Structure 1
Amino acid sequence: MASRAPKTGVSVETQLRERIRDLEAQVKMEQSARKAWLASEERFAMAVRGTNDGIWDWTVGTTDVYLSPRFKELLGYSNNELTNRFVEWETRLHPEDKACTLEALNAHLDRDQPYDVEYRLRCKDGNYRWFRARGRSIRNPDGTPLRMAGSITDITERKEAMRALAESEERFALAVRGANDGIWDWNILTDEVYFSPRWKAMVGYEDHELENLFPTFESLLHPDDHDRVMQSVVDYLEGRLEGYAIEFRFRHKDGSYRWMLARGIALRDATGRPYRMAGSHTDVTEQKQSLYALAEGEEQLRLAKQAAEMANRAKSEFLANMSHEIRTPMNGILGLTELLLNMHLSPEQRSYETLVRQSAESLLTILNDILDFSKIEAGKLELDEQEFRLRDAIGDTLQSLGVRAAEKNLELACHIEPGVPETLVGDIARLRQVLVNLVGNAVKFTHEGEVLVDVKMEALSEGHVMLHFSVKDTGIGIAEEQHHKIFEAFTQAESSTTRHYGGTGLGLTICRQLVEMMHGRIWVESTPGAGSIFHFTARMGLITAPLPCKRPEPQVLHGLHVLIVDDNATNRLILEEMLKGWQMIPTSVPSGVLALELLGAPQGRVFRLVLMDLMMPGMDGMEVSRRAQLLLGSDAPKILMLSSAGHIMELAHASHSPVGRVLTKPVKQSDLFDAIVELLGLCEEYELGDTCPFHPLPSKPLRPLSVLLVEDGRVNQLVATRMLEDRGHAVTVASNGREALDMFAQESFDAVVMDVHMPELNGFETTSAIREIERASGGHIPIIAMTANAMMGDRERCLAAGMDDYVSKPVRSGELYRAVESFTTIPLSARGGTPPCDMPDPLEPEPDSVFDAAAFRESINDEDLMRQLIEIYPEDSEDMLLAAETALRANDRAELHQAAHSLKGLLGNYSAPVALEAARTLSLLAREDRLQDAPPVLGDTIREVRRLGDALKAFAKTLPERDAPPTDQ
């Protein structure tokens, strides 16, 4: 700055003072400026320290640059780890970003273009991070840059987010281009909609042919669907629907309509207001067409099903009518034949009657086969499982076939392995049906030799046993290619078989289906001319408590020597196994000659019993028995004759016969045991108990009944009347329902046997009328349906109509007796009638029907034992009655059966027929699960048990007093 010139006329001193003042003012200005600069520097330093960005300040043209501590920290360094030199920044630039970054820096310095650039810098850990750099330069008056300062901001996270967003958008774009569905994205605020190219192509348009606006969507909706779809959109957006998914029709460019399934979701702001909604369209036209076709097919199927059901009903009605029409005359044939066979007939007459009965039985078998096949085919055949004794059941079954085998001189034998359980649970009737069919076929197709039934245990599991049955014959055999065909319906091994042997060809089919219902299978092994073996398996239930059976302990037979004489090796082995099971000592010979030689030898004296086959070559059993009697005299052993024919039973009772007992082969194990015990006198008295559930006839009823028989057929009237009168019952006949109602109003009856099909008023209508009368007057009379219908459900329909039991025609005498007489313990007060004047009131039975004192004395024959039995009776009987009452209240069938069974066993010791029959009936009702009928019977049982108690107390007074015990003197 140039020196100011001295003023003219002013003293030097004055000039000096002015200069001093100027200098002081300049100093103050400089001091003020410095203070301002210092304040600015302080604010800058504070800003540098406080900002999250890195600050840099470069003196242009030099290598010096100020890098703030935060700048260095962003790169992972402390303040003293990096120098403030330009090279520290430049060398850390990413190689890919260096050129463009330096270019942007020079453009700012040279042309003053804005400096705002993004680049990557290498950090201390070797990784690169993204930064945004911005700066401004300070220039000389001539525009030359002197200084440039700015900041860097870490944008790594934003860059990553942008990259991820770009990738997501790329994936979305690819998905939109590749998706089979149409994509849409609706901006609710602007009504703009993004429709993907696929969305538009689904209705036949190019991408540029449709505007991306919401009205485009509305315009394509089918008129019938428009309001429904729009309302659905509004309901979803306003929160009345949880989701948006709807089907509608969309108009195609060609004018047709396509079915679309639209799904979408809305985005909402913080207040819950929707601002955007996106989703997809799926073309479901083909599925809709398939559904329409399916619905049409289902309708056709429904109509076909209805037609099939109508056809099935027609078939069932035809079978029911056929059953009725055939069984009605069959009832007359079989019933009259049974009555005739019980009369005194000449041998020729008996032969003819037997042939008639056998022919009728054959016809009935064919009818039953057809009905069974129909039931199985309709899926309406059910197994009726109950407890049974396997050996007795199979023995009874085979004995019923013994005559047929004997007529052809065939040996029929049965072998059951010792390990097979005795008492099982299953449908014994259906098991017998399978065995009868297989054994019957074996007998039919075998002309000489034997038929052997073998039973063994195949598998044992908890609660069940799988049994393996085989029926082996020495018959004509079956070709291998026929092994599977014979189990098909209406098929036999050869076309000539039906003509030669007869039959429907249904038997083995029914066997196969029954076996499968019993969780088993059936197959055959056979060679033509070498016989056949039919196998089948069946699953049976096991029970922990065996059926009661009062018989001697097998120990009474231990160690007894028995001689077996039979020419058939199979029979000898079976008999040996049975005897060894009772720990007897058997010796077997195949002929009568060898038997006589052995009996005549010294060691022959040890035999107390001979099991003798009747039919043996050379010397038959009767001849051997006579010679043994002559040979040994009084030392001759007891002879038990085994006969395949069953027609010499009277020989066993002839005075001159050396035979003690005769049994029919195949021998039942229980029958053999009983016969041996009785023949050898090893047990004076014992009860067989319920050893076999197939008794030919029930025991005689306690008293005769007055029975109303309602039947329109004269032959059936004759048969049923004769059967009932043979049992001592009084029968009144009504020819139709109207007559029955008149008689019911005028007389009292114990039971009604009601035919179902009758003119004027059928059995159902008559029963309904009787039940209406009883509802008004009280009481309940047992009504037993008697019908020629035998289809599945007939029994249930009869019971549902108010009947109490059911027997099918042709009626067997045993079935009729059991049905009618099972109600003898139901009091007349429960039946709604009064007893006839010539019949005692069951509520006041004759004294010995409550307690037969004479029989009690005879059976016990020990006064002390009688006293003990009388003393324990009240407590034991009341405990059992309490158990029965508790079980009935709980509707517990098993417990009621157990209590009634125990009570029955107790009462059997006291010669009390009425009480015993009441307990037996209660046990039967529980076993058959007829608990609805049990309350009145339990009432009868309680009354009779307590009446017996009173009678026993009175009887005890008639016994002599016990001698007083001696006393010490």
Structure 2
Amino acid sequence: MLLAVVLCFHLYQIKLERQYQVYQAQFFVLAGQVEQETLAAQTVITSVRNSLAEPIRYQLDAQWQQNIRQQAGYFYRQLPDNGGEVVGLGRFVPTPQLRAQWQQIMALGPSFNTALALIDELEAVVFIQENGFAFVKRRDTSQSNLLTAIVESRFTPQFSQGVTATSMPTRVFGKHYFALGQRLTSGSQSQILLIYDVDKLASRLQQMTFGGGTLALKGTQPGVILASSKGYQDLDDDQVRNAKLPWKGGVRFNYRPTGQPFTLRFVQDEARFSAPARYEVILELGFLIIFIVFTFAAYVWLNAQVFIRPLKHFVRYLTYQEHTPEATMSYAVPRDWQPWFREIKQVVTQKRHALQQLQENNTKLDEQVQRQKKALSRSLEAKERQAALLKTVLNSVPDLVYYKNIDGSFIGCNEAFERFMGVAQVDLVAREHQEVTERHLALLDLEHTMNFQGQSLTDTLMLEGSSYLITVSPLYNDLRKRIGTLGVARDISEQQQALTALRASEQNFKAAIEYAPNGVILLSIDRLVLELNRTARKLFVRVDIGSSLYSVFEDADVEALNDVLDHCLQERQGASELSMAQQDPKRWLHLSVSLVWDKQKNPKYFVIHVQNVTALVRARLDAERANHAKSRFIANISHEIRTPINAILGMVSILKPELDSQKEQQKLEQIESAAQQLLTMLNDILNFARLESGQGKPNNQPFCLVDLISSLNGLIAPLSSARQLEFEIEVDPFIWPRLIGDEARIKLVLMNLLGNAVKFTEHGRVGLSLSLQPGIQAPEQTIQFCVWDTGPGISEQDQARLFDAFTQGNESSSRPHEGIGLGLAIVKQVIQLLGGEVTLTSKPDVGSRFEFTLRLERAALSDEQSRKSLFLILDGQAPLPYLAHQGIHQGSLADLRALSQSTPIHYLASNDPDHVRALSQSESGLDAQWLVPDTGAFSQLLPADFEAIRLAQPVFYQSLSTCTLEVPKAALPNACILSPLLCIVVDDNPVNLDISRTVLEQRGATVVALSSAENIVAICHKLRPDVVLMDLYMPNIDGYEASRQLRSQFDQQSLPIIALTANAHEQEKQQAMATGLNGFLVKPVAPVDLCAALQDYVPDNDTVFDYPFALAQMMGNEALVRTMLEKFAKLGEEYIASLQKALSASELFSLAHTIKGSAAGLGLHRLAAQARICEVAAKQANEDVSDQLPCDQAQLLAAAEQTLCFISFWLKG
């Protein structure tokens, strides 16, 4: 035992020494990690210092002095797009010195952004100049507490030790921060501060620590900056350490990164350090003691078993002899005594087995007796149940059942037979038929006949006016000996009547088939003719009963008919139809095939109805030929007329901005009006032809009611104002904001009706109202649309023909209004297509009302989180369901005050100016953005400087559900609306090509015009346009083939293609979209519509070529611009050759710098921007080729190839 204790103590010291070495190795690994991460902070500071050392290149825009917030003692501005914050001491005065400082700090934005992106624990980066002018970039700008602490200099380090120092932790709004700062120079007060989140760094140290110890950072000032555990206590470094037992008094490691103002320390007390080793040694000592004790006990037990126990048993055997206990018999005895012990053991074993066998036999006998008793009891119970069941079954059967003895006396019957005989069963038993009643003696005659024949007999008897099917049969026992008679009778009166009716119906059916106007053929499953009626025999003269199908129809028709018959058998369909044309004689037949089954659902035969539709088919073919000819004529004339109209309208849109003379502008407006009138008539003809041919189908898609009403208002309001009419719109506030329907057709109908109302009303008012009809539950709403006016009205005789095609209310030759009379005909057919019906109510000199009702499904609403902070003030009005569905609060002013105590309200909405004025002028504590109706009367009641989001009055409540909760930004000028879009226009018509290019260039787009689609794939690979406008009908390669070639290389996202064609047919659009096009525009297309179609594809990038900028750079000399572009194209080939090689960082930096300067001066902004990005990446990289450079170099190469390809097309004109 003593030796074990000594060994374990020595082992304990060895374990502590090894554990200390492991701790020391782990700490230095962690120290290496910390030093690597401190390099990131040093890199950030170095990057900022380098940016400050470079010359000022950043150019401020004209808005840099705006949005300055002057506070007591300092001024502040938050830069747009989360670009940082500028703070300066004193009052803001835009001096040249301040402008230079502002330009200098704006260059620090990328470095600050990179620092925040790379270092997660970094909370803010600050640059402070000597005069107190500072630039701050914070990770979280939602709270201003951190910024206030920075302004108050609470993070300024003590720089007494050098240019780099740390501050002590500072508590700001419940969180702790400290700063790592560096002066620009040793004597300068300008400094760069990196402000870290202490909690995040402590959490990081907690993840890095090991062994239950504590990691801490000590700065240049006394005290600890942060530690991985809250209960950290610093140990004394001055204590004398034991060289052999360095863990005595606690484990301590220190490491100070090179050039850093802080020290990394690891601390762990001695008790925690030695606990694992102490536990392991105690456990090993315990196992060793247990092993020693167990070995000693085993030795003692084996000694007793081998030597002592045999002697004890031998003495007991000699003492007891034959009465030795049983436990002794199973013990091994000496070999000389084994025969005696074996005989004794055999006798005892035989007696024991005999007793056990006797007991088992007795138990089995008892079990057999019990089983026999239970079986007998179950048998008796089963017979009783069978008898009761049999009686129940017989009484449940509606048939008459009786059974007699061999002597003719009744044994029993069921309840139905009792009711039939009128005698109870107890009165029937043991009595014969004549003893009970004198009725129904025919039963006895039937029984006598059965007895005579000796077998069962069935017959139909009339008993008391009803037909009974009666069966009497001998009754036998188990030994096949007859013991009586069994009789069963069923009332079949109804079946007899049904059979009679069936026979009559069959005769009528055969007569109907025989004299049917259509041919009827009954065909077996084996395809053989079973029967033909009179008409079929006239159609097929040479067909007889039993003929095959080949004798009835031609071979090709038989194969088609067999397919239909097989389909009926396989799919078990009731009926199928087939049409066929026969050559001899020349006729068309329409066949209707049905399959007849029996009761077991097995097919019996086919019924083929044959109708001779020769005259009908010929009439239909003639009508289709005429309709096709009309459609081809309309399509051709539409395409041919739209092409010159597109040229007229395009030239007008180009000339309008260039002409200053009012007289010339009026002439252009007259030309444009005439062309638009011609286009409207052409569209009406196409729409009417499309609807008349039945091609139209509703295109039900989700749409916004607010957008529909706003679009109608924008189109009709100018027309009504020009005629000095009041235009009113009224929308039920309970109509759902987003619906599912055919928005385009609804807009077409309302535009036609409103256009007619404006055109025919000389003075007064024109209006549109939408009202919700009751009775329809969600998810549908029934909406009534009404267009009304106070015009001259329509007489009753004109109302009857008003919706006819090519008809107007006033058909006289002197009618004051023009038109072809298709508007209302289109309205009627479109509304019928949408499932509604238009009605007209009109009185002369009073006005007219056009009404129609549509059922539209409710569409899903957006789940924008900001809407849940919106409160709508209602004044006695019921809450709107769709606003409640989106979480928008609704209620009175009292509800608003109560809710604002617990829930933040950021937006307020009201349709009442009194509410708005009262809340905006009161000191309620609500700092919310207002949403109000956009009406002049509403604005007059509010202050002139009142800021609010203006919503359309008719759909004010619906707009709350769909609008963007922010003040709308100013729209881009018309000349920049498509900048910096790069567009390829492909059109074989030079006039249309020139118009499209001019319209797009006037709106800021960069255009490459192609007169054919030759090599379009190769051009797109080099030019990489943002969108392609493709004419569909061109010689050689048409638009469809060109689109298919492009789609084989580019998908719809990488290269959008929009069709621009003069063909307005719907099937043309479907074919174009099926080819993979993104959009479909019909010539002539208005510039507004063209810009709207291209707006989604405008990239977030710089323009490829800014011609006005390049022309201004060359002082308006167009020839010089062309010359400089030609020179740049030659240099560009050299640039591309260099970029195709593997370049080092310095080589790539030099080349990118050269390209940037050359491209920027010529207005090639996209190439210049990419060169700038590549230049920055090359500058930050090492001299060797890094992982980032190939990617930036490839992007610059692609931009150069794109620019050179564009220049080549531009120089060609």
TM-score by length of 2: 0.38
The one of the two structures with greater contact order (alpha-carbon pairs below 8 A, sep at least 6) is 1
TM-score by length of 1: 0.46
